[in-house]
Structure 1
Amino acid sequence: MTSTKLRLLMVAFDASIQGWELPAFRGAVAEKAGYEHDLFHNHNNETGGYHYRFPLIQYKQDHGRPMLVCLNEGIEELHHFFSQPDWTLMLRGRSTPIRIHRLDVKQYTLNVSDKPFRYHIRQWLALNEDNYATYIRLSGMLERIALLQQILQNQLVGLLYQLGYEPERPVEVAIQNMKEERWVDYKQIKVLAYSLEFSCNVALPDYIGIGKGCSTGWGVVKRLRG
């Protein structure tokens, strides 16, 4: 059985932030680190477009505090921010000095397990324009859950490939409990966000993001324990 190591660094800062301020937090950190370091913002500095890749630096909120989640090469890139003499950030016109509250370094093994793990995903933006059209044509809840389950499986497989792991066995995903479906504002557009519990036979780190907007706090995954 093959596996791939995933390195992860989580840094929570001693400041206060609202969830809707996470895009501003990303912009402020990227500006402080230098826009030429595109892992901080995922924009293509040459074309002006986007890098269509899994974000290796993600911006989260943890108990009201801003937090960075960095994976693999994103960990090394973080020195461009930490090496700055002043960590004061401008968040929507508000001067916000920050300092480290908690720092965790972990390593995970990515592989397909014989047993499933249980997770909760919060405010997952699952649907694009095409599969939203498919979703609303489905009349029954079971059919809609089956579609969401397939989308989640596809996104998890894509995540593993982008992190350098090619599964030798099928990645199995099962949605177990639909907690909430609601409309939210994402980039000034109303989209559906889902909070649900699911099982998967791959060990995923807490706070990793999946789906659209995962770099700024959407689709945050946490393992259910006990």
Structure 2
Amino acid sequence: MNEVRIALLTFSIPVPIQPRMAEKLRGFFGGLYPEENIFHNHSPSGKVIYRYPKIQFKIVEQRLAVMGLNEGADLVQNEFIRHEKIVLDGTEYPVMESALEVRNEEFSVIDELNEYRFESPWLAMNGKNNLAFLRGKLDLNHALVNNLLSDLKGMGIRADRTIMVKGSFTHREVTLDNTKMTGFYGGFVCNMKIPDYIGTGKRKSIGFGVIVRK
């Protein structure tokens, strides 16, 4: 069995939660802990490091949330929970209520099928995928298989059998960094155990591609 240690910290602030707040939350904590390499995707030389984000910021049930995975879980449960206020876009907010859930959960390819859905837009596109989508030839099931396989590898988990996905997806436009992108909602059946609220696809560290079990 392949398990992931998870620390999920959720908290509320006295204003309505907006989707882009997940990205602002990452900026806040990243600024507080600049020495923590786990936040960053660049080496000291400036070279891009491609790795699965062990700390992910997202919106969970209309609350701000930080999910730490494995070594990221230590930082969340030992440090992040201590903060009684946060600063988003230069505005300080008191943390009105917070909750921390720590658990071990299986993340692996299995023999049974489970149903999942996307709680936030899944950004499946790279340059090659985007061209295929525009031509009506993008296989989203195959794209999701590739994303999930990459996620497992990023967590140091070996897929010992073929990942199978069958989904039904709808697309909608997403604006990120003043750039229009295509995101996908929908559900899928998959022969995997996937922890709730984990992210897949592009920009998963700031709340995109959040998966929950139906």
TM-score (norm 2): 0.91
2:122 maps to what in 1?
A: 124
Which structure 1 residue ranges, 4+ long, deviate > 4 Å from structure 2?
none
Secondary structure of the equivalent of 2:174? strand
AA aligned to 2:5 is R
Would the aligned equivalents of 1:11 and 1:100 in 2 still touch at CA under 8 Å? no
- Alignment of 1:7 with 2:18, yes or no, is no
Would the aligned equivalents of 2:108 and 2:194 in 1 still touch at CA under 8 Å? no
Please give the root-mean-square deviation of Cα atoms over the aligned residues, in Å.
1.7
Corresponding pairs, count: 210
Identical residues among aligned pairs (%) = 29
Would the aligned equivalents of 1:206 and 1:223 in 2 still touch at CA under 8 Å? yes
Structure 2 residues not aligned, in runs of 5+ = none
Would the aligned equivalents of 1:59 and 1:217 in 2 still touch at CA under 8 Å? yes
Rounded to whole Å, the distance in 2 between the matches of 1:220 and 1:115 is 21
Per the TM alignment, residue 99 of structure 1 is displaced from its structure 2 partner at its CA by 5.5
Secondary structure of the equivalent of 1:19? coil
Q: How does 1:49-198 map to 2 (within 5 A)?
A: 49-78=47-76, 79-82=78-81, 87-98=84-95, 100-121=97-118, 122-138=120-136, 143-144=137-138, 147-175=139-167, 177-178=168-169, 180-198=170-188
AA aligned to 2:156 is G
**Deviations 1:124-143 (Å, cap 9, x if unpaired)?**
011111211122123xxxx5
Structure 1 residues not aligned, in runs of 5+ = none
Rounded to whole Å, the distance in 2 between the matches of 1:65 and 1:220 is 14
Secondary structure of the equivalent of 2:104? strand
2:205 maps to what in 1?
A: 215
AA aligned to 2:8 is M
Q: Which region of structure 1 is more displaced relative to structure 2, 3-12 or 14-23?
A: 14-23
TM-score (norm 1): 0.86
AA aligned to 1:151 is A
AA aligned to 1:35 is P
Would the aligned equivalents of 1:119 and 1:199 in 2 still touch at CA under 8 Å? yes
